[in-house]
Amino acid sequence: MIAYLPKSAVVLTLCLLFLPITFGLLGTLLPAFGYLPALGHHGLSLQPFRDLASTPGLVTATVLSMATGLVATLISLAVTLVFIAGHAGTPMLSRMQHLLAPLLAVPHAAVAFGVAFLFAPSGFLIRLAAPFLGIDRPPDVLIPHDPLGFTMIAGLVIKETPFLLLVTLAALPQVELGAARRLAASFGYGRIAGFVYLLWPTLYRQIRFAVYAVIAYTSSVVDVALILGPNLPGTLAVQLVQWMNDPDLDARFLASAGAVLQLGVTLAALLLWFFLERLSAIMMRNARERGWRFERDRLLCRASVLAVGLVGGVVFAGLAILAIWSLAGLWRFPDILPQSFTLRSWMSASPSLGNAVVTTLITGFASTLLAIALTIGCLERELQTGRNVGEKSLLMLYLPLIVPQITFVFGLQLLFIGTGSGDRLAALVLVHLVFVLPYVFLSLADPWRALDRRYEIIATALGRSRISVLLSIRLPMLMRPILTAMAVGFSVSVAQYLPTVLIGEGRLATITTEAVALASGNNRRVIAVYALLQTMLPFLAFALASLIPAALHSDRQEMKV
Amino acid sequence: MRSMAAIFAVGLLAASSSLPAAAAEPHISDWNRIEQAASGQTVYFNAWGGSENINAYLQWVSSEMQSRYRVTVVQVKLDDTASAVAKVIAEKASGKNEGGSVDLIWINGENFVSMKQKNLLLTPGWATALPNWRYVDSENQPTILTDFTEPTEGLESPWGGAKMVFFYDSARTDASSLPDNSAQLLDWAKKNPGRFSYPAPPDFIGSSFLKQVLAEVIDDPAKLSQPVNEASFERDVAPLFAYLDALHPVAWRSGKTFPQNYPDMKQKLADSELDIIFAFNPAEASAGIKAGELPETVRSFTFSRGTLGNTHFVAIPYNANAKEGALLTANFLISPEAQLRKQNPTYWGDPTVLAISKLPEADRAAFAALDLGAATLAPDKLGPVIAEPHTTWMNRIEVEWRRRYASGN
């Protein structure tokens, strides 16, 4: 009986990822072709697409979505590559790893608000400079919301670089770093060139799906685009949300057609990236065959340190500014600090906070526990059959990350109401699971596969059953990565907005739904309170993930990190 | 997998087949029965959640409803009212004609018209049958019976008044230089480049600014009470867009971007980015000063020939789950006590929909004793009301605005 569990875990996992997305997409596709009986439209037509085509600024919005996504991904990946190439194997890098996880815990919206509060013409940096430059009014400069989306790209780079760095660092142990370094150096290649020629192709193969996920995310992001992006016109995703919220109900067809276009934009961005991959592979081969050694790369190495430092610095400075705003009384330009401090914003948030925190915790824990159980089941099945999941199933795992949320969550909402399911919380946990599962799986898969199997072989030889080997050897030894994967999953759940609002029908309020509702009022103090709260919960999860194993393993010197 | 597909198919089929008869409506005349039925119900009140003040006010409503009628009122905080409308549509789409998730919506204008036209609201006439309707100022506030020229027909119950009012910081801007109409506002903007703007439509306040200007510059204002006449639309709105073409080059950020909404303008007034802002609530500045968001030197002004005014309402969807509780809540919202607190700038500061003359003596005195704050104009200083144009104007102007200014060319 127990032996069947892993097998059913695989089936269940695949269903959980595949079915909601398929049905969700169906629920979007039908209205896109004019079918939505509730509004009295029973026939199929191309009218929604015709309306879409005649929308002013559509081309600009589409190009913006694609370009900001691709450029942000390109910059993030370039910074990651140069930094890792320049510093892999140095002590600095292993120290970095500890700093990166908390950066991941900061939600996108908090990062974006931090960037806005720092760099806006009435933001903190100008206030710092104001006494020296003699400024008493904020300059009339177009930041953020600049038409070419530079501020938005900067915000996305700041958020995505730590993610790509962490993914790359996780994959790094799988390449022969030391040997390659020595070989490249002995032939007189620069650090970066040697790394790129010898190791990058293997490494990139490991992280490419993560890169695709970044492209999909950045080309369809809503919150960052709203806070930092251009708005005349906004990116396609922002306009989609506006159409979905249009009081004119027939705009729903336009929104559905737009969602299909958004899927197209994301796919086109991925396709373009695919060509870029080919192009850079050719360029790299050329450079390698010509023996270009790029020996003088020290400046580039240092620049990458600066870039990574800047990324971290902006995130933490942004959080600090958020903290000040959450406590600010009247804070006028160009004062560097508020005239008075008050707990008012925190106090007025507190009555509605209790329920939101409880819902956030329940949903986060439940979806994370389910995800970790399914992931362990799948990975155990892998060990049993001796087969790796392979590229195809990996793509399946990435499906919820690559298909833009906005294109299938609305359809999913129709489905849930259609089933007459009264249990909203269960539905919410299931939908969160769709997004939590991939991240948990991807975080745990590598350490799981990397564990030396000889421990288990010995234990089995001594007559232990598979399940007892799993419970007494594998799980304890993998305690740290398991908890880290759970922390990642939990923070993914905390950050979900669209699915929570739609499936929870607004009745299940989480920290994030409260934050977005209040952010629409644009009160900096309130925004700050909720952005900090949104950061705090995942932060705690990560802290627990590193403290629990330390406490459990305090008597075992070898298990310490 | 097959069963999931079947469920999905059933959902879509249910939506397309004819709908079963609606559940028995509560009889509004029998108020005792309604109170009994409401007891123990939970009313999900879908209301914009972007303001701490308003959320706190609703918390108070909730505690009052609990102690008076044992009705639990839960605010579902929306970032946009239309998403509540969307929920009702989604429910209708999947055949959920009873036990819906929305019991009460804070609504007006486009969203109301939309729901009314798609038959998504509780039967007409309930609002005017509420016991507290006798206090409502339906005679002197024409916007209580027509919401953006659409007759309310008792489909929604008034909750508060709104009037466009401008704000400035008297420490920075000389009161004698302030404009008294849209044309003067444009001149002021030319003299003070980069210091005035308005939220980009479809933001409600931004669209209202466009309607204000249109009402002042159109050749015949009577046209606005009628649906848009497509034949003359271009000519009718030409003066408005000529005005905007002149305004944008001297507006904040040269009209290349716009403030997000009214609270954003409020922050920009505090940041010294904008010098003149406006809102739809005369007490907004006083409330902002009290909350430490605006300096104490902020003052308000209106145009002597009138600014836009309207009323906001609450409505009950046709498939509401707690209809009786929703009726009871709507009735409480127009009670003198709830309206008094609503007009108090410490809590909200929204003008009442009640006729003070119809109130009992004690309530009249309480309203008279309200301290509206130094930054709030007395009701008789607010100037005349310009009625909202027919909703078709809003849609057409928004589309036209986007075509001209938001196409990225």
Strand order in the sheet with B165-169: B276-279, B165-169, B298-301
Tens of pLDDT, residues A91-107:
888 777 777 777 877 88
Cβ atoms A470, A379 nearer than 8 A: no
Structure tokens at A270: 């991925």
- Name which CATH class applies to B2-160+311-379: alpha beta
Q: Which of residues 414-453 of A touch B (CB under 8 A)?
A: 414-415, 417-420
Handedness of CA A46, A51, A54, A60 (dihedral sign): negative
What pLDDT score was predicted for residue B223? 94
> What stretches of A172-235 show up as alpha helix (H) in DSSP?
177-186, 191-198, 200-220, 223-228
Tell me, yes or no, if A460 comes closer than 8 A to chain B by beta carbon. Answer: no
Q: Which of residues 297-336 of A touch B (CB under 8 A)?
A: 328-333
Q: How far apart are CA B257 and CA B248, in angstroms?
A: 10
**Contact flag A514-B49 (C-beta cutoff 8 Å):** yes
pLDDT(A559) > 60: no
Tell me, yes or no, if B110 comes closer than 8 A to chain A by beta carbon. Answer: yes
**Contact flag B270-A23 (C-beta cutoff 8 Å):** no
Tell me, yes or no, if A413 comes closer than 8 A to chain B by beta carbon. Answer: yes
Confidence of residue A1 (pLDDT cuts 50, 70, 90): low
DSSP letter assigned to residue B199: P
Residue in B with minimal Cα distance to A142: B253
Q: How far apart are CA A263 and CA B365, in angstroms?
A: 61
Contacts with B10 from chain A: Cβ below 8 Å:
418
Mean pLDDT across A309-315: 94
Q: Which of residues 344-373 of A touch B (CB under 8 A)?
A: 344-345, 348-349, 351-352
Confidence of residue A556 (pLDDT cuts 50, 70, 90): low
Which secondary-structure segment (H or E) carries B167?
strand B165-169
**Contact flag B90-A245 (C-beta cutoff 8 Å):** no
Mean pLDDT across B254-263: 89
**Contact flag B49-A520 (C-beta cutoff 8 Å):** yes
When CB atoms are compared, the residue of A507, A520, A525 closest to B50 is: A520
Structure tokens at B385: 């009301």
Residue in A with minimal Cα distance to B405: A232
User: What phi and psi, each to the nearest 5 degrees, are found at residue B34?
Assistant: -65, -45
- Domain boundaries along the sequence of chain B: 2-160+311-379, 163-309+384-408
What pLDDT score was predicted for residue A417? 66
A465 Cα to chain B: minimum distance (Å): 33
Residue A97 Cα distances to A103, A155, B20, angstroms: 10, 21, 60
**Contact flag A247-B114 (C-beta cutoff 8 Å):** yes
Tell me, yes or no, if A342 comes closer than 8 A to chain B by beta carbon. Answer: yes
What pLDDT score was predicted for residue A418? 64
The position carrying tokens 């309207």 is B310
**Contact flag B77-A514 (C-beta cutoff 8 Å):** yes
Nearest alpha-carbon partner for A511 in A400, A344, A362? A362
Residue in B with minimal Cα distance to A412: B8
Q: How far apart are CA A232 and CA B252, in angstroms?
A: 14
Confidence of residue B4 (pLDDT cuts 50, 70, 90): very low
Q: Could you say which architecture CATH assigns to the domain B163-309+384-408?
A: 3-Layer(aba) Sandwich (3.40)
A440 Cα to chain B: minimum distance (Å): 24
B88 Cα to chain A: minimum distance (Å): 10
Tell me, yes or no, if B46 comes closer than 8 A to chain A by beta carbon. Answer: yes
Cα B120 from chain centroid? Answer: 19
Mean pLDDT across B374-390: 87
- Cβ neighbours around A144 below 10 Å, total: 23
The chain-wide mean pLDDT, for chain B, equals 88
Length of chain A: 561
Q: How far apart are CA A210 and CA A228, in angstroms?
A: 24
Tens of pLDDT, residues B114-155:
899 889 999 889 999 999 999 999 888 888 998 988 899 999
What pLDDT score was predicted for residue B2? 34
What pLDDT score was predicted for residue B364? 95
Coil vs helix vs strand at B158: strand
Interface probe for B, chosen from A25, A26, A60, A232 (most Cβ of B below 10 Å), is A232
When CB atoms are compared, the residue of A233, A333, A501 closest to B408 is: A233
Confidence of residue B14 (pLDDT cuts 50, 70, 90): very low
Coil vs helix vs strand at B145: coil
Nearest alpha-carbon partner for A362 in A267, A438, A282, A428? A428
Cβ atoms A485, A549 nearer than 8 A: no
Q: How far apart are CA A84 and CA A165, in angstroms?
A: 8
- Write the CB contacts of A67 (distance below 8 Å, at least 6 apart in sequence): A149
B361 Cα to chain A: minimum distance (Å): 34
Tens of pLDDT, residues A469-521:
888 888 888 888 899 889 989 988 998 887 887 787 767 889 888 887 777 67
Tell me, yes or no, if B14 comes closer than 8 A to chain A by beta carbon. Answer: yes
- Please list, residue by residue across B49-82, b when 16 or more beta carbons sit within 10 angstroms of its beta carbon and e when fewer do: bbbbbbbebbeebbebbeeebebebbbbbbbbbb
Tell me, yes or no, if A3 comes closer than 8 A to chain B by beta carbon. Answer: no
What pLDDT score was predicted for residue A208? 87
Q: Which of residues 182-221 of B touch A (CB under 8 A)?
A: 193-194, 200, 202
pLDDT(B86) > 90: no
**Contact flag A232-B267 (C-beta cutoff 8 Å):** no
**Contact flag B271-A232 (C-beta cutoff 8 Å):** no
Cβ atoms B53, B85 nearer than 8 A: no
Tell me, yes or no, if A249 comes closer than 8 A to chain B by beta carbon. Answer: yes
Confidence of residue A420 (pLDDT cuts 50, 70, 90): low
Mean pLDDT across B47-65: 91
What pLDDT score was predicted for residue B20? 37
CA angle B358, B360, B365 (to 5 degrees): 100
Structure tokens at A95: 């120290």
Judge whether B2-160+311-379 and B163-309+384-408 match in fold. yes
What pLDDT score was predicted for residue B10? 34
User: What phi and psi, each to the nearest 5 degrees, are found at residue A246?
Assistant: -70, 135
Q: How far apart are CA A57 and CA A230, in angstroms?
A: 12
When CB atoms are compared, the residue of B51, B59, B114 closest to A351 is: B59
**Contact flag A137-B272 (C-beta cutoff 8 Å):** yes
Burial label, B279 (beta-carbon count in 10 A; 0-12, 13-18, 19+): buried
What pLDDT score was predicted for residue B47? 94
Contacts with A62 from chain B: Cβ below 8 Å:
none
Interface probe for B, chosen from A126, A246, A339, A410 (most Cβ of B below 10 Å), is A246
Residue type, B215: A
Residue in B with minimal Cα distance to A527: B50
Coil vs helix vs strand at A248: coil
Question: Between residues B216 and A554, which one has the greater pLDDT?
Answer: B216
What pLDDT score was predicted for residue A134? 86
Residue A78 Cα distances to A70, A71, A283, A320, A450, angstroms: 12, 10, 15, 28, 27
Residue type, A3: A
Give the CA-trace dihedral at A50, A51, A55, A58, to 10 degrees.
-50
What pLDDT score was predicted for residue A504? 79
Tens of pLDDT, residues A336-355:
999 999 998 898 788 778 88
A96 Cα to chain B: minimum distance (Å): 37
**Contact flag B111-A331 (C-beta cutoff 8 Å):** no
Q: Tell me, what's the ipTM?
A: 0.80
What pLDDT score was predicted for residue B397? 94
**Contact flag B89-A147 (C-beta cutoff 8 Å):** no
- Please list, residue by residue across B293-326, b when 16 or more beta carbons sit within 10 angstroms of its beta carbon and e when fewer do: bbbeebbbbbbeebbbbbbbbbbbbbbbbbbbbb
Domains of chain A are 4-23+56-343+353-552 (1.10.3720.10)
Residue type, A143: I
**Contact flag B270-A505 (C-beta cutoff 8 Å):** no
When CB atoms are compared, the residue of B59, B93, B267 closest to A522 is: B267
Find the helix packing angle between B204-217 and B182-191, rounded to 10°.
Answer: 110
Contacts with A505 from chain B: Cβ below 8 Å:
76, 87, 101
Coil vs helix vs strand at B138: coil
What pLDDT score was predicted for residue B25? 57
A136 Cα to chain B: minimum distance (Å): 9
Q: How far apart are CA B260 and CA B274, in angstroms?
A: 13
Most confident option among A225-234, A317-326, A449-458, A549-558: A317-326
Q: What is the pTM of this model?
A: 0.83
Percent of chain A with pLDDT over 90: 37
Cβ atoms B306, B164 nearer than 8 A: no
When CB atoms are compared, the residue of A348, A417, A524 closest to B91 is: A417
Tens of pLDDT, residues A240-270:
887 876 766 678 789 889 989 999 999 999 9
Confidence of residue A419 (pLDDT cuts 50, 70, 90): low
What pLDDT score was predicted for residue A414? 66
Tell me, yes or no, if A526 comes closer than 8 A to chain B by beta carbon. Answer: yes
- Cβ neighbours around B219 below 10 Å, total: 11
What pLDDT score was predicted for residue A52? 92
Q: Are strands B42-48 and B72-78 parallel, antiparallel or unpaired?
A: parallel
Confidence of residue A62 (pLDDT cuts 50, 70, 90): very high
Interface probe for B, chosen from A18, A36, A523 (most Cβ of B below 10 Å), is A523
**Contact flag B12-A418 (C-beta cutoff 8 Å):** yes
Q: How far apart are CA B290 and CA B371, in angstroms?
A: 12
